[in-house]
């Protein structure tokens, strides 16, 4: 048993416990940057509320035993249907940044870490550390040669897929950051980019991101890389169908954790229509609001192949470095296994819409 008041997370039993502990440890401006959303944060709240509304319809006497949490995504086996969402600057939460995240994840499960364009650790160092597969999250810059250079480095370092963020022609109106006049603390820089002033993320994005990005980006990506391409930030059946037609390998149903346009739906709300439009033709991932193992089960039941975990990973990192990340993942996996066993779901592929009462 950890001592009372242990701030390293020894008493934490849930991901929400880790959020509370992380808040105590982080500078308030950094906390707001990590935690906040756009506008009045209605979408941010809706992501979590959508999962809170889910009720599970258990099937009894199924002889499940120990559920099988493994799954196959883009031809690779994942130990659990949960990967790590791309989040800029893990170094804000812990000096070892993404390296600690990768180590902590690898200690518990073999699933990918999606490395942000704005990662605080170099792609080569992360790849050399080994442990888990790495994917690259791509922001498309006006200067395509920068984006192309990053993709080429990722490919030669052995990263396995490109997750192109399509909901950010510029950054959303994050009122907490505007009010705080948020600047990255000294020493927090993107390890894989050079040249610009990155200290004010929204201002940098306004000058550097390509505001005219369109569907031709898929063809461009195919011309510069042979890696699988996923589009992150799809919220409608129409765009999902268009992505499939454009030849992508997968989509991420995402509203950027409520950080782009406030007022768009919760990701779980739109998942069924998107899964229906995709009809199994490409991989469907979902992020936004996953805070418990049963949230993962709900996402699988409503049509996702796997989920991405965002802020809770940074909470674990802030509280306990790689061990904190490992504990957050362990909790989530234990809760998922528990939810599967208690609802009569033997394997991830068996979770379908009949499991859910909305
Ligand atoms: C602090 C922070 C930084 C983020 N940075 C990126 C990023 O660099 N690229 C990206 O595509 N998404 C980024 N996201 C969005 C996440 O990938 C993901 O969509 C979101 O966090 C999922 O929601 P959750 O935090 O509720 O799990 C960021 C989110 C947060 C909270």
Give, using CA atoms, the residue closest to atom 20 of ligand 1. Answer: 257
Ligand 1 centroid–CA 1 distance in Å is: 33
Atom of ligand 1 nearest to the CA of 291: 27
> Catalytic site residue 256?
yes
Atom of ligand 1 nearest to the CA of 35: 31
pLDDT at 358: 80
Ligand 1 centroid–CA 87 distance in Å is: 5
Residues within a 6 A CB radius of ligand 1 = 33-34, 47, 85-88, 116-118, 137, 165, 232, 254, 256-257, 259, 287-290, 309-311
pLDDT at 2: 40
pLDDT at 9: 78
What three-state secondary structure class fits 193?
coil
pLDDT band of 5, cuts 50, 70, 90: very low
Domain residue ranges in the chain: 15-57+72-343
Ligand 1: which of 257, 309, 315 to mutate, most ligand atoms within 8 Å of CB?
257
* Pairing of the two strands 356-357 and 55-56: antiparallel
**What tens digit of pLDDT does each residue of 122-154 get?**
999 999 999 999 999 999 999 999 999 999 999
Is the CATH number of domain 15-57+72-343 3.40.50.12280? Answer: no
Question: Rounded CA gap, 102 and 104, in Å?
Answer: 6
Give, using CA atoms, the residue closest to atom 13 of ligand 1. Answer: 87
Ligand 1 centroid–CA 272 distance in Å is: 22
| Token pair belonging to 297 | 């089960």
pLDDT at 1: 37
Taking each helix axis from N to C terminus, what angle separates 293-301 and 267-278, rounded to the nearest 10 degrees?
Answer: 30
What three-state secondary structure class fits 232?
strand
Asked if pLDDT for residue 81 goes beyond 80, the answer is yes
Ligand 1 centroid–CA 68 distance in Å is: 28
**What tens digit of pLDDT does each residue of 293-340 get?**
999 999 999 999 999 999 999 999 999 999 999 999 999 999 999 999
**What tens digit of pLDDT does each residue of 212-258 get?**
999 999 999 999 999 999 999 999 999 999 999 999 999 999 999 99
pLDDT at 230: 99
pLDDT band of 6, cuts 50, 70, 90: low
Atom of ligand 1 nearest to the CA of 165: 11
Ligand 1: which of 43, 47, 86, 255 to mutate, most ligand atoms within 8 Å of CB?
86
Residue with tokens 């890389």: 225
Question: Nearest to residue 164, comparing CAs of 247, 250, 76?
Answer: 250
Cα angle at 295 between 289 and 296, to 5 degrees?
A: 105
Rg of the Cα atoms in the chain: 19
**What tens digit of pLDDT does each residue of 87-104 get?**
999 999 999 999 999 999
Give, using CA atoms, the residue closest to atom 5 of ligand 1. Answer: 87
pLDDT band of 4, cuts 50, 70, 90: very low
Mean pLDDT of the chain: 96
- The mean per-residue pLDDT over the stretch 58-80 comes to 97
The length of the chain in residues reads: 358
Distance, first Cα to last Cα, the chain: 38
Asked if pLDDT for residue 191 goes beyond 70, the answer is yes
Among 90, 94, 204, 256, the one annotated catalytic? 256
Give, using CA atoms, the residue closest to atom 8 of ligand 1. Answer: 88
Q: Residue 227 in contact with residue 74, Cβ under 8 Å? A: no
pLDDT band of 10, cuts 50, 70, 90: confident
Beta-carbon count within 10 A of 45 CB: 16
pLDDT at 240: 99
Instruction: State how far Cα 216 lies from the chain centre.
Output: 25
Atom of ligand 1 nearest to the CA of 256: 19
Q: Residue 82 in contact with residue 90, Cβ under 8 Å? A: no
pLDDT at 7: 56
Ligand 1 centroid–CA 144 distance in Å is: 22
Ligand 1 centroid–CA 256 distance in Å is: 5
Ligand 1 centroid–CA 308 distance in Å is: 10
The phi and psi torsions of 164 (rounded to 5 degrees) equal -95, 120
């Amino acid at each position: 048993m950890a001592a009372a008041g242990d701030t390293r997370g020894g008493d934490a039993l849930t991901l929400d416990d880790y959020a509370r502990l992380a808040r105590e440890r982080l500078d308030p401006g950094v906390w707001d940057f990590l935690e906040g959303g756009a506008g009045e944060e209605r979408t941010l709240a809706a992501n979590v509320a959508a999962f809170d509304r889910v009720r599970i319809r258990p099937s009894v006497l199924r002889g499940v035993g120990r559920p099988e949490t493994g799954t196959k995504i883009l031809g690779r086996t994942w130990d659990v249907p949960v990967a790590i969402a791309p989040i800029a600057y893990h170094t804000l939460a812990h000096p070892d940044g993404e390296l600690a995240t990768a180590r902590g994840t690898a200690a518990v499960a073999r699933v990918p870490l999606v490395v942000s364009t704005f990662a605080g650790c170099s792609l080569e160092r992360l790849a050399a550390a080994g442990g888990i597969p790495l994917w690259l999250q791509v922001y498309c810059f006006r200067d395509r040669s920068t984006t192309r250079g990053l993709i080429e480095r990722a490919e030669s370092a052995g990263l396995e897929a490109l997750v192109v963020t399509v909901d950010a022609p510029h950054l959303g109106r994050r009122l907490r950051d505007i009010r705080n006049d948020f600047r990255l603390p000294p020493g927090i820089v993107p390890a894989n980019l050079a040249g610009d002033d990155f200290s004010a993320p929204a201002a940098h994005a306004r000058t550097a991101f390509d505001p005219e990005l369109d569907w031709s980006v898929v063809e461009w990506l195919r011309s510069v890389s042979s890696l699988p391409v996923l589009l992150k930030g799809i919220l409608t059946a129409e765009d999902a169908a268009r992505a499939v037609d454009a030849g992508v390998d997968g989509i991420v149903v995402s509203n950027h954790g409520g950080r782009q346009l406030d007022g768009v739906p919760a990701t779980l709300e739109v998942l069924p229509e998107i899964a229906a439009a995709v009809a199994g033709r490409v991989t469907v991932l979902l992020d936004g609001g996953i805070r418990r193992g049963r949230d993962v089960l709900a996402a699988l039941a409503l049509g996702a192949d796997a989920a991405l975990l965002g802020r809770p990973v940074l909470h674990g990192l802030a509280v306990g470095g790689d061990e904190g990340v490992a504990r957050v993942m362990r909790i989530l996996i234990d809760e998922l296994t528990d939810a599967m066993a208690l609802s009569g779901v033997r394997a991830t592929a068996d979770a379908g819409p009949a499991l859910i009462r909305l």
